[in-house]
Structure 1
Amino acid sequence: MSAPLDIDQLHTFLAIVDTGSFTKAADRVFKTQSAVSMQMRRLEERIGKQLFAKDGRGNRLTTEGEKLLNYARRIIRLNNEAIAAFDDNRLEGTLRIGTPDDYADRYMPEIIGRFAKTHPNVELYIVCENSSSLAERMAKGELDIALVTHNPRARMSDVVRTEPLCWVASANHPLREDAPVPLAVGRRDCLWRQLACSALDADGREYQVLFTSWSSTVVAAAVLAGMAVSVLPESALRPGMKVLTSADGFPPLPPVQIGLMKRPGLSPSLMNAITDHIAACLDNISPAVVPDDLDAEPKGIGRTPKVRAGQMATSW
């Protein structure tokens, strides 16, 4: 029977990946650099593959190291969940989370589901508003953390995910090529709207904003009805949508980033617990795939779990 992987070695492996060096990882896991190097040699011996390769003065993951990375995160996450399930000193209290509704649709089910399993005594209070309003609430101390569209010109946040921004239209309703592009977007201070309009302006493409809303449901409805074109992150694509590219006459868009805002003074235990879940869940989410069969469930979009963490209040 094969020997199991060592949890401590996997912790050190992830510390090296997250910090970018053996030296910084040694400080994080409270070991000497030689001990860290020894752990990685033993892990490579256990795997039977080289995990790191020299890259100048630093180290980079090999192909086999990249392969192990996803398994290591899942193993550590499951290990932490198992320990928390039998912890008599569980976290308690209320955690106030803010997120735009499009992020709530896509990311929150897995985040909430995992957090509820490991911290059932924590009440989650969820506020769904646009990123600008959430930043204002954070400044007033009305929220503990907020997932927002990262926009360093408007607010400070820690980037936790980067992905492509896509032009989308209805897969069942062709666009008129002789008319200005009909847009369904957020309000004027919406970063995605600004990126879309700037790209069309630079390309000399005429457009007209027909629908303005902070609600992703309203924007998606206008797109799916064939009434407008919009822009969405890759993971937010829905069945019935078609991605428009340069072949359709649409200019490329820059990638978008999701940021995490944190309230100073929040309990470190609560902060670390939720941010660890957010980082792990966002890292584990694959891009949404829009199937040809509109009745099929899109791959990469998880089913909504049942929430058991106290009462969850939602504010729209």
Structure 2
Amino acid sequence: MTALLDIDQLRTFIAISETGSFTRASEVVHKTQSAVSMQMKRLEERVGKPIFSRDGRASRLTDEGERLLDYARRIVRLNMEAVASLTNAELSGRVRLGVPDDYADRYLPEIMARFSHTHPNVELTVVCDPSTDLIDRIDTGDLDLAIITDCEMIARETEIIRREQLLWVGSSRHATHLEEPLPLALGRQSCNWRQEAIAQLQALARPFRILYTSSNSTAVSAAVLAGLAISVLPESGLRPGMRVLGPSEGFPALAPCRIGLVRNRHEHSALADALADHIVQGLDNISEAAIAAE
């Protein structure tokens, strides 16, 4: 008789393949490293082939391991879907969402209101951090879902759900955009919006100085509204009292920013799927054809 594969072992196997380490995977699946090693030994015994090859401290998959990984992901997902579809109980528990504060004011009220209305017994935990930090928290299992600004430096499978134009903004009551050198309020150095703004100004050979740096959009907006600096924000970040600056004022068009959704691949849950549906329905404004045309 063919041996049946153990779901818990497959979940651990997936975690190792995605983290590249037994140690990091043990943190994701909340087991000791020795327990993880024992699970993988038993899984190899079940399939009758080695599924890992050691490469220094990293754990790489063999050819057989790569083949098993695709099946493992499908088996674990189907298992979770089956449990969710067969239970008659109303969803309850806790789901953890990460979102940059650039989008929190604009998007969270509607998402939270709709989700709370349809799932009153679910506790929603929200964390506001920059996109790169949210990715780290997804990888360590601290979050179930994260809304992020999709950029090239995030080497991660991301479901693009919205696209917004990135805009130069200043105060409508001040002429800060005429100052030389141009004062800027931007995100921290890893922020791709900051990098885009600096690259555009350097291409124009326009003098500038970084006056304020913050990963908090409220702080950046405050500097703009006070007439202290110019910044770059997506359309959803515009506030009353701000003015959009364009080519007529000497500010070139910026590339649009893409807003994406990433999921915790280690802990699939019906709650996360339900929240993801609400997020996509609320933010989706681009078609698959539009994405394919990029």
TM-score by length of 2: 0.65
Mapping for residues 87-98 of structure 1, pairs under 5 Å: 89-98=89-98
Cross-structure match for 1:198:
199
| Structure 2 runs not aligned, ≥5 long | 1-86, 286-294
Distance in 1 (alpha carbons) for counterparts of 2:111 and 2:278: 6
Cross-structure match for 1:23:
none
- Counting aligned pairs with the same residue, the percent is 49
Distance in 1 (alpha carbons) for counterparts of 2:185 and 2:106: 19
SS in 1 for 2:114: helix
Who wins on radius of gyration, i.e. which is larger?
A: 2
Cross-structure match for 1:175:
176
Mapping for residues 1-316 of structure 1, pairs under 5 Å: 89-156=89-156, 157-175=158-176, 177=178, 179-283=180-284
TM-score by length of 1: 0.60
Deviations 1:171-197 (A, max 9, x none): 001126351111000000001101111
Deviations 1:216-242 (A, max 9, x none): 110000000000000010122100000
Cross-structure match for 1:52:
none
- The alpha carbon displacement at 1:88 in A equals 6.5
Cross-structure match for 2:39:
none
What amino acid is the match of 2:261? L
| Structure 1 runs not aligned, ≥5 long | 1-86, 285-316
* Structure number having the greater helix percentage: 2
What amino acid is the match of 2:144? D
Deviations 1:139-170 (A, max 9, x none): 11111011111013223222111010000000
- Does the 8 Å CA contact 1:148/1:261 hold for their aligned counterparts? yes
- Does the 8 Å CA contact 1:203/1:251 hold for their aligned counterparts? no
- Does the 8 Å CA contact 1:135/1:155 hold for their aligned counterparts? no
- Does the 8 Å CA contact 2:170/2:177 hold for their aligned counterparts? no
- Does the 8 Å CA contact 2:103/2:236 hold for their aligned counterparts? no
- The alpha carbon displacement at 1:268 in A equals 4.1
Task: After the TM superposition, list the runs of 4 or more consecutive aligned residues in structure 1 that deviate by more than 6 angstroms.
Answer: none
- The alpha carbon displacement at 1:266 in A equals 3.3
Distance verdict in 2 for CA 1:178–1:172, change over 3 Å? closer
What amino acid is the match of 1:175? T
Distance in 1 (alpha carbons) for counterparts of 2:88 and 2:239: 42
Distance verdict in 2 for CA 1:178–1:213, change over 3 Å? closer
- Does the 8 Å CA contact 1:98/1:126 hold for their aligned counterparts? yes
SS in 2 for 1:107: helix
Distance in 2 (alpha carbons) for counterparts of 1:282 and 1:233: 14
